[in-house]
Amino acid sequence: MSNLSPEHSFQPLSVGNVVSAGVRLYRSNLKRYLILTLRLYLWSFVPIYGWAKSIEISGRISRLAYQELINEPETMTEAYQKTDRQIWNFLVSGLLMGLITFALFMGFFIAFIVFFMLVGLVASAIAPRSAIDTSSVGVAFSIFSAIAFLVLLLVAFLIWLRVFSRLFIYEVPLAIEDGIDGATTIGRSWTLTKGSVGRIQLIILVAGLITWTIISPATFFLFALVGAGANTVDDGTSSVLVLLLYIVVLLGSGLVLPFWQAIKAVVYYDLRSRREGLGLNLRDRG
Amino acid sequence: MSLFNRIKIRTPESVELEFTLAGIGNRTIALVVDYLIWGAVLIGLLIFWGVLSVQLERYLPNNRNIELWISAISLLITFTVYTGYFVIFETLWRGQTPGKRYSKIRVIRDDGQPAGVTQAILRALIRPIDDTFFIGLLLIVLTKREKRLGDLIAGTLVIQEERSIVSSNFAISPEAESLADELLANQNLNGLLPDDFAVIREYLQRRSMLETKARTDLSLRLARQAKDLLGMQELPYQMTPDLFLEAIYLAYQKRD
């Protein structure tokens, strides 16, 4: 019976194996990652410097995960020394991402305004004529514009999904590679993900399913709290409930955040293997 | 950390085998695919049964228990499809279902033997428990051998299918042929191990998908490393790294 390993370390990973590797990294480093996430949360309350620090820490979690994948694990201090000096670049990349998202949604907004203006124009143009047969033309036109609206909505969603997938790992190159700044890291994410949008979306879907099932007890608790809050009149009780709600949300997302940073690290590793032949080496493998 | 969860098992004949466990990602994909197919089959059957039962009620108006019977039979259909789907496929396809086939994983027994009907039934019967509150998912993530309750009770493992080596289907330039003969005549190829050959093959196969700059760097590096491994001082004459690697690939296959 042949017993070759199904995948050599230099071969690209399947969607399932990307997710499994992310889960395994997360599980075996849970304590480290959660400590970092706690710091990230605390920093996020400090304006500007703290926000930069938050993005830097999330990048650092991915760096720690990636170093483990390439069998060159780093200590927390080593990783800190590498990522901390890029702190302002992390802020720049975060701001740029915000700008990109903003521009995208402005674009959608303008597209929708233009759409509604066109609909209005056409409607007023056909209104006088349709006095003869109001019903048929009017109905056909409203059905047509409703369908056009849905199509536009779908196109906007697909564009957003595509851009989001291509920028999915925007902060990871900055945390790992040398000679990269806050702008080029976004470009790196864009080049690396070229041709892999579908696979990234599947990875996000499967990892999302696993995330959702694992935090589902928390979601249940969340809904219970919201329900209880809606039914209380007493101010004291409701403020306690709001506080509890806040804690549950923080805990839940705190557990989830490092998992996604680990997934991003594996995606980055896999993309570099696919696009740049990372790991293809004759020397190291005597 | 290794990317995969590799385990060693001992067969009844005391042969040690190594497998890669399926992993939560592949198992989730398999489950989603299976539940989609299973759901479609179930909905189809229940619609059929619904249509049929309306006719039955019309023909047997005097039977008071008919509604009870109808709901009992629809429950039975659900149960049969739920367990039957997994039992039938895992038995006939030796530990695989359509979803598992899609994500290239397979159920085997703890001792490496193919899973049979007993294992399939036990796994299918425990499945509802594993699905409740996602017990199975947590167990797969948290235990070393990635066993859900059904696997623990049936004594099974879920592993990744061994990937058969795909035949090479990449283009090789015609000059490489003569160069390969030259290499065979003048060089000792024993410096290259099968693993090195695998890396060169992998590069040649994937080079068209690589980014241009990365590809230039990588081919140059691999060609230099190969030159050193073969103990060559200089390349015979000017050639591109890709051509040199192609020639090595051909020569390595031709040597006896």
- Which tens digit of pLDDT belongs to each residue from B106-150? 999 999 899 999 999 999 999 999 988 788 998 999 899 999 999
Residues B66 and B187 both lie in one domain: no
Claim to verify: residue B139 and residue B54 sit in the same structural domain = yes
Q: What is the pLDDT of residue A2?
A: 32
Pairwise CB contact (< 8 Å): B4 & A27: no
pLDDT digits (tens, 9 = 90+) for B163-207: 665 666 778 888 888 888 888 887 777 778 888 888 888 898 888
**Residues 14 to 43 of B: which have CB under 8 A from any A CB?**
17-18, 20, 22-29, 32
Give per-residue pLDDT as tens, A243-286. 888 888 888 888 999 999 999 999 999 999 999 988 888 865 44
- pLDDT reported for residue A5: 42
Whether B101 is in a domain gets the answer: yes
Final residue of a domain: which of B160, B195, B224? B160
Average the pLDDT over B155-160 and give the result: 95
* B218, B193: one domain: yes
| A103 CA: distance to closest CA in chain B (Å) | 29
Same domain, B92 and B212: no
Residue B120 is assigned to a structural domain of this protein? yes
In a domain, B70, yes or no: yes
Q: What is the DSSP string of chain B?
A: --SS-EEEEE-TT--EEEEEB-HHHHHHHHHHHHHHHHHHHHHHHHHHHHHHHHHHHHH-TT-TTHHHHHHHHHHHHHHHHHHHHHHHHHHHTTS--HHHHHTTEEEEETTSPBP-HHHHHHHHHHHHHHHGGGHHHHHHHHSTT---HHHHHHTEEEEEPPPPPPPP-----THHHHHHHHHHHH--GGGS-HHHHHHHHHHHHHGGGS-HHHHHHHHHHHHHHHHHHTT-SS-SS---HHHHHHHHHHHHHH--
The per-residue pLDDT for A4 is 38
- Average pLDDT score, chain B: 87
Is position B168 within any domain? no
B109/B22 same-domain check: yes
Of the three residues B160, B184, B208, the one that is the final residue of a domain is: B160
Would B99 be classed as within a structural domain?
yes
* Segments of chain A with pLDDT less than 70: 1-9, 127-135, 233, 283-286
Q: Please check whether residues B29 and B81 belong to one and the same domain.
A: yes
Residue B1 lies in a domain: no
B13: domain range?
6-160
- Taking contacts as CB-CB distances below 8 angstroms, the residues of chain B near A1 are 17
% of chain B beyond a pLDDT of 70: 95
Check residues B251 and A190 and name the one with the higher pLDDT.
A190
Residue in chain A nearest B6 by alpha carbon: A5
Share of chain A above pLDDT 90, in %: 65
Confirm whether B106 is domain-assigned: yes
B152 and B195 share one domain = no
Judgement on whether residues B131 and B201 belong to the same structural domain of the protein:
no
Chain A interface includes B162 (CB < 8 A)? yes
pLDDT of residue B165: 59
**B27 lies in some domain:** yes
Question: Tell me, what's the pLDDT at B55?
Answer: 86
Predicted confidence (pLDDT) at residue B63 exceeds the cutoff of 80? no
> Per the CB < 8 Å rule, is A14 touching B142?
no
Regarding whether B181 and B137 lie in a shared domain, the answer is no
Question: Domain check: are B126 and B179 in the same one?
Answer: no
Partners of A16 on chain B (C-beta within 8 Å) are: 22-23, 25-29, 103, 105
Q: Are residues B199 and B143 in the same domain?
A: no
Give A-chain residues touching B26 at CB under 8 angstroms: 14, 16-17, 20
Last residue of a domain, one of B160, B190, B214: B160
**Count of structural domains, chain B:** 2
User: Which pLDDT score, from 0 to 100, does residue B205 have?
Assistant: 87
CB contact under 8 A, A18 and B193: no
